[in-house]
Structure 1
Amino acid sequence: MSRLPLIQPEAANGQAAELLTAVQKALGVTPNMTKAMANSPAVLKAYLEFSGALGAGVLSAAVRERIALLVAQQNECDYCLSAHTYIGTKLAGLSPEEAEAARGGRADEPKVEAVLAFAATVLRTRGDIEDTDVKEARQAGLSDEEIAEVVGHVALNVFTNYFNKSAGTEIDWPVVRH
């Protein structure tokens, strides 16, 4: 059971109602994570705006989902592992094998594996990376824009992992465990 109440869209008021309606319209569903975040419209709005801004970046949906899977695995967030396994395999075009490999920081494509290696370094060092880490990412073909977005995606996913673990959000996706 969630530690925070799940705000149902039909019972929400004000900005929470507006945001939950937007989530439903965009996704066709209102995930439990957004219902829990609606306890603070500021938190839900921050998540939606951060996610939306990064979604318009240069990293493909498949790469973004791989980063999310890696971060969720490292942070032992079963809610996010479940959500991103579903989204990655059903919407972003990952095979089940690619999704599983991403959890361990692996990919068949060298550039994608470099993205995951850099993301893992950012996560492991809590952002305290070395100049050599950036140099290696560049040598693997990542642009400065991609490097910046990888850091952004790690941060976004750490936020959702921590939120869901703290809130004890009930998993409403096919369950995947770390």
Structure 2
Amino acid sequence: MSRINLVDPATATGTSAQHLAEIKGAFGVVPNMFKAVANSPAALASMWGSFGALGSGRLGAKFGEQLAVAIADKNSCHYCLAAHTGLGRKAGATAQEMAEAQAGRSSDPKTAAALTFAVKVVEDRAAVTAEDVAALRAAGFDDQDIVEIMGHIALNLFTNYINVALDVPVDFPGVKLLRAAA
């Protein structure tokens, strides 16, 4: 049971109503996470805007979903793990690629470097080293890519924290956390 009200899109007003209509157009439904965040029009605008900006970024949707599941697992976010596993499949990732990404791994060296970096940022609360950033550069990422990766990490921390702290009910097919199994 959510710890806060889930805003009904049918009774939402103002910018929250506008963004919830856009979200419904994108997903066909309004996922519970957005209903929870709609309690704050500013937070909803920030979250939805970030999804749009990063989703059309240079790194691509599949890559973003792989980062999202790795971060969700580290933060024990059932909601984001379920949502982004499904979205990753829609973005062209195989079930195996998403399972590997959840574990912070990839058979693609460039994706593997980004997942390693993202996991380190989350686990070490952003206290990465020059060597960690150099590893991204060695894998082929430039400054634009590195900042975009940080944007994905920040967005996923935002969504993970909303869902975990506010106990938002999962409305996507469940995926088992690896972290819980460890």
Fold match, TM over 0.5?
yes
Amino acid at match of 2:54: L
Structure 2 match to 1:84: 84
The 1-side partners of 2:156 and 2:125 are apart by 13
Secondary structure, counterpart of 1:80 in structure 2: helix
- Is 1:72 matched up with 2:72? yes
Amino acid at match of 2:45: K
Displacement of 1:61 in angstroms is: 0.9
Work out the percentage of aligned pairs sharing the same amino acid: 44
Q: Over residues 49-85 of structure 1, what are the superposed CA-to-partner deviations in whole Å (9 max), with x where a residue is unaligned? A: 1221112211111110000000000000000001011
The 2-side partners of 1:13 and 1:135 are apart by 47
Question: What residue ranges of structure 2 are gaps of 5+ in the alignment?
Answer: 178-182
Secondary structure, counterpart of 2:10 in structure 1: helix
Structure 2 match to 1:166: 165
Displacement of 1:119 in angstroms is: 1.1
The 2-side partners of 1:55 and 1:92 are apart by 11
Displacement of 1:5 in angstroms is: 1.2
TM-score, normalised with respect to structure 2: 0.94
Structure 2 match to 1:176: 175
Question: What residue ranges of structure 1 are gaps of 5+ in the alignment?
Answer: none
Displacement of 1:26 in angstroms is: 2.2
The 1-side partners of 2:85 and 2:148 are apart by 21
Map of 1:1-178 to 2, 5 A cutoff? 1-89=1-89, 91-178=90-177
TM-score, normalised with respect to structure 1: 0.96
Amino acid at match of 2:159: T
Amino acid at match of 2:175: V
The 1-side partners of 2:149 and 2:41 are apart by 26
The 2-side partners of 1:69 and 1:37 are apart by 20
Bigger Cα displacement from structure 2, 118-127 vs 97-106: 118-127
The 2-side partners of 1:137 and 1:12 are apart by 43
Structure 1 match to 2:180: none
The 2-side partners of 1:105 and 1:173 are apart by 22
Displacement of 1:87 in angstroms is: 0.8
Amino acid at match of 2:125: R
Displacement of 1:120 in angstroms is: 1.4
Displacement of 1:111 in angstroms is: 0.7
Bigger Cα displacement from structure 2, 166-175 vs 122-131: 122-131
Displacement of 1:16 in angstroms is: 1.5
Secondary structure, counterpart of 2:132 in structure 1: helix
**Which ranges of 4 or more aligned residues in structure 1 deviate by more than 2 Å?**
none
Displacement of 1:177 in angstroms is: 2.6
What's the Cα RMSD here? 1.0
